């Protein structure tokens, strides 16, 4: 994981170092510990507030360089609006907003987690720390020339907290989730010449082994033996081998059925013989965002020792056009035995997922399966980047996902499924075809997947709009968002841990 910040915790009485960030609210008052720290700078602050006409509106701030009366390079005051009304998700945002105010030139910063009239709990303080982590992430591995004013090492951020011991106990669980998000972001941001299917599998193995999860990797030969011909058909036009990675974390009761997460991992999607136009094709290095999320999630669950049995199965292929590539009109037999007529080789994600979903269902008999896939451009047309599309055969699972979405800010919007849509993928020559025409493109893609889950409670998340290239937020400035790791971690935490 790219390490852009190091975090530490100390008491509210600790002398601040570097850029000092303090908090206020609409009253413009400070907590007693903050007042102590700011002693001597009162006059400078009053003048700065006046000059800015600072009213303490939520998330507004005042920035003072070399403040008179304080022996520090910079003082930043951030208002949280109404301190008494802060929700759990606001503390994550607070960490993101605060980290975003620290200039690139700074080496050290101190964030004083002290609010007038409210106590910041260890849980909330740990959320702030997670927000700092997520916001500070940068993918700059391939930049050989750093900006002149940029500091050359990681930024050291010290959080001054009311309950130091409590915060230290609360943070590791958040840190595990944060590391999972950053792992997912790294995978999405990596270019496809570096991150091909074998390299993705290698990284999944390396990261998951480091937190005690079990990993199995199936190569081309193993996939052929298993009968995953729909998946292999997508990869056959590439000189890169395909892979399926099975990740297992057994933190639950011995005989309890696992929860299963399935990811689309097309490390690059040219469209194949149905080749995509040139403009924007570089974004298709992110067509493994679903698999990245599953890998990051499994990392998070293992690293925080979640009391759940979980499996992650990802299908890794590269979709390329060459002499060996699959053609429109080809008919492949999937692992399930169902045959598929290829109409458009660019509708490849569903072919990969068909085999991986079936495999996961047959082998693990999971409590539920949730798949994540950058599956259709049509979901961007429908929902933009604000919500991921949710398709499901199970109302209870859908409601749980929607609730976890509200809690984490990784929101999902349920879309319809039905027999009328399903008819659109019937084929003249095979059991089904891989596209259903222009209309309802995200729905017909989901109908296709549903043919590979039987009665297993299942949800499909179309993350084409949220996994990559989504608008920057308070907790993310990177192209790859790591979307879904926090959502699914929350789902597991709320409902599936013994």
- Catalytic positions are 276, 350
- Count the helices and strands in the chain (H runs, E runs): 15, 17
287 binding ligand BES? (CB under 6 A):
yes
Would you say 137 or 452 has its CB closer to Mn ion?
A: 452
Specify the DSSP element, H or E, that contains 444: helix 441-450
Do residues 412 and 487 touch, judged by C-beta distance below 8 A? Answer: yes
Pick from 227, 239, 13, 216: nearest CA to 113: 13
Question: What is the b/e burial string over 476-486, where b = at least 16 CB atoms within 10 angstroms of the residue's CB?
Answer: bbbbbbbbbbb
Contacting residues toward Zn ion, per CB under 5 A: 266, 269, 287, 349
Do residues 480 and 289 touch, judged by C-beta distance below 8 A? Answer: yes
Distance CA 431, CA 352 (A): 17
Angle, vertex CA 216, rays to CA 211 and CA 219, nearest 5: 140
Q: At its nearest, how many Å lie between Mn ion and the CB of residue 346?
A: 4
Specify the DSSP element, H or E, that contains 19: strand 19-24
288 binding ligand BES? (CB under 6 A):
no
| Ramachandran angles phi, psi of 296, nearest 5° | -65, -40
**Order of strands, edge to edge, in the sheet holding 108-112?**
5-11, 155-161, 108-112, 19-24, 74-79, 61-65
**Within 10 Å of residue 310's Cβ, how many Cβ atoms?**
26
Would you say 470 or 490 has its CB closer to ligand BES?
A: 470
Interacting partner of 83 out of Mn ion, Zn ion, ligand BES, none (Cβ under 5 to 8 A depending on kind): none
Pick from 352, 361, 370, 316: nearest CA to 205: 316
Would you say 166 or 328 has its CB closer to ligand BES?
A: 328
Would you say 79 or 267 has its CB closer to ligand BES?
A: 267
Q: At its nearest, how many Å lie between ligand BES and the CB of residue 320?
A: 13
Give residue 50's Cα distance to chain centre.
Answer: 41
Would you say 223 or 375 has its CB closer to Mn ion?
A: 375
Would you say 96 or 441 has its CB closer to ligand BES?
A: 441
Q: At its nearest, how many Å lie between ligand BES and the CB of residue 344?
A: 4
Distance CA 251, CA 225 (A): 30
Would you say 374 or 478 has its CB closer to Zn ion?
A: 374
Interacting partner of 466 out of Mn ion, Zn ion, ligand BES, none (Cβ under 5 to 8 A depending on kind): none
Do residues 57 and 79 touch, judged by C-beta distance below 8 A? Answer: yes
Q: At its nearest, how many Å lie between ligand BES and the CB of residue 244?
A: 18
Interacting partner of 377 out of Mn ion, Zn ion, ligand BES, none (Cβ under 5 to 8 A depending on kind): ligand BES
Q: Which listed residue (89, 344, 367, 398) binds ligand BES by CB under 6 A?
A: 344
Provide the token pair at 456: 């297993």
Stretch that binds ligand BES, among 77-85, 126-134, 344-352, 417-425 (CB under 6 A): 344-352
Site for Mn ion in 310-369 (CB under 5 A): 346, 348
Stretch that binds ligand BES, among 42-50, 236-244, 342-350, 481-489 (CB under 6 A): 342-350
- Residue 248: helix, strand or coil by DSSP? strand
Question: x/- contact string, 363-402, with Mn ion (CB under 5 A)?
Answer: ----------------------------------------
Question: Who's near 72: CB < 8 A, 6+ residues apart?
Answer: 16, 17, 18, 19, 20
Would you say 51 or 472 has its CB closer to ligand BES?
A: 472
Stretch that binds ligand BES, among 241-249, 304-312, 339-347, 420-428 (CB under 6 A): 339-347
435 binding ligand BES? (CB under 6 A):
yes
Specify the DSSP element, H or E, that contains 486: helix 485-495
Provide the token pair at 202: 């290698």
Look up tokens 């960030």; give the residue. Answer: 21
Question: x/- contact string, 369-408, with ligand BES (CB under 6 A)?
Answer: -----x-xxx------------------------------
Would you say 319 or 489 has its CB closer to ligand BES?
A: 319
Question: What is the b/e burial string over 382-407, where b = at least 16 CB atoms within 10 angstroms of the residue's CB?
Answer: bbebebbbbbbbeeebbebbbebbeb
Distance CA 155, CA 232 (A): 45
441 binding ligand BES? (CB under 6 A):
yes
Q: At its nearest, how many Å lie between ligand BES and the CB of residue 464?
A: 4
Q: At its nearest, how many Å lie between Zn ion and the CB of residue 235?
A: 13
Interacting partner of 383 out of ligand BES, Mn ion, Zn ion, none (Cβ under 5 to 8 A depending on kind): none
Which residues on adjacent β-strands are paired with residue 261?
312, 370
Question: x/- contact string, 134-163, with ligand BES (CB under 6 A)?
Answer: ------------------------------
124 binding ligand BES? (CB under 6 A):
no
Q: Which listed residue (31, 96, 258, 349) binds ligand BES by CB under 6 A?
A: 349
Which residues sit at the interface with ligand BES, rule CB under 6 A? Answer: 269, 287, 344, 346-349, 374, 376-378, 435, 441, 464
Residues that bind Mn ion (CB under 5 A): 269, 346, 348
């Amino acid at each position: 994981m790219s390490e852009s910040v190091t975090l530490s915790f100390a008491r509210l009485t600790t002398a601040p170092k570097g850029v000092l960030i303090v908090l206020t609210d609409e009253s413009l008052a400070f907590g007693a510990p903050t007042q102590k720290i700011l002693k001597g700078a009162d006059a400078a602050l009053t003048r700065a507030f006046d000059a800015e006409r600072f009213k303490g509106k939520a998330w507004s701030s005042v920035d003072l360089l070399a403040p008179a009366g304080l022996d520090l390079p910079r003082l930043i005051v951030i208002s949280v609006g109404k301190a008494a009304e802060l929700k759990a998700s606001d503390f994550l945002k607070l960490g993101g907003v605060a980290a975003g105010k620290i200039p690139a030139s700074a080496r050290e910063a101190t964030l004083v987690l002290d609010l007038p009239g409210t106590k910041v709990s260890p849980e909330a303080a740990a959320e702030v720390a997670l927000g700092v982590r997520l916001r500070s992430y940068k993918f700059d591995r391939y930049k050989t020339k750093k900006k002149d004013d940029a500091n050359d090492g990681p930024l050291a951020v010290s959080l001054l907290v009311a309950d130091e011991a409590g915060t230290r106990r609360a943070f590791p669980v958040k840190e595990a989730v944060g590391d999972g998000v950053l792992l997912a972001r790294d995978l999405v941001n990596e270019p496809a010449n570096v991150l091909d299917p074998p390299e993705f599998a290698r990284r999944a193995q390396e990261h998951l082994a480091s937190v005690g999860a079990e990993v199995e990797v199936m190569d081309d030969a193993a996939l052929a033996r298993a009968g995953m011909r729909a998946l292999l058909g997508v990869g056959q036009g590439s000189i890169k081998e395909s892979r399926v990675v099975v990740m297992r974390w057994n933190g639950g009761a011995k005989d309890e059925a696992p929860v299963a997460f399935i990811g689309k991992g097309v490390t690059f999607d040219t469209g194949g013989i149905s080749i995509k136009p040139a403009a924007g094709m570089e974004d298709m290095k992110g067509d493994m965002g679903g698999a990245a999320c599953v890998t990051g999630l499994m990392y998070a669950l293992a690293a925080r020792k979640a009391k759940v049995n979980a499996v992650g199965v990802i299908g890794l292929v590269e979709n390329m056009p060459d002499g060996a590539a699959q053609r429109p009109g080809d008919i492949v037999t999937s692992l399930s035995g169902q045959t598929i007529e290829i109409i458009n080789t660019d509708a490849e994600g569903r072919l990969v997922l068909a085999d991986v979903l079936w495999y996961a269902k047959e082998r693990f008999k999971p409590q539920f399966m949730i798949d994540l896939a950058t599956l259709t451009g049509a979901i961007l047309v429908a929902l933009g980047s604000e919500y991921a599309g949710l398709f499901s055969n199970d109302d209870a699972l859908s409601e749980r996902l929607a609730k976890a979405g509200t809690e984490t800010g990784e929101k999902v919007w349920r879309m319809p499924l039905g027999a009328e849509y399903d008819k659109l993928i019937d084929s003249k020559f095979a059991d089904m075809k891989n596209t259903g025409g222009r209309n309802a493109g995200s729905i017909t893609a989901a109908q296709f997947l549903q043919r590979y889950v039987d009665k297993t409670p299942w949800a499909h998340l179309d993350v084409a709009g949220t996994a990559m290239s989504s608008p920057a937020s308070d907790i993310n400035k990177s192209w790859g968002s790591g979307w879904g790791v926090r959502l699914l971690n929350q789902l597991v935490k709320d409902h599936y841990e013994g």
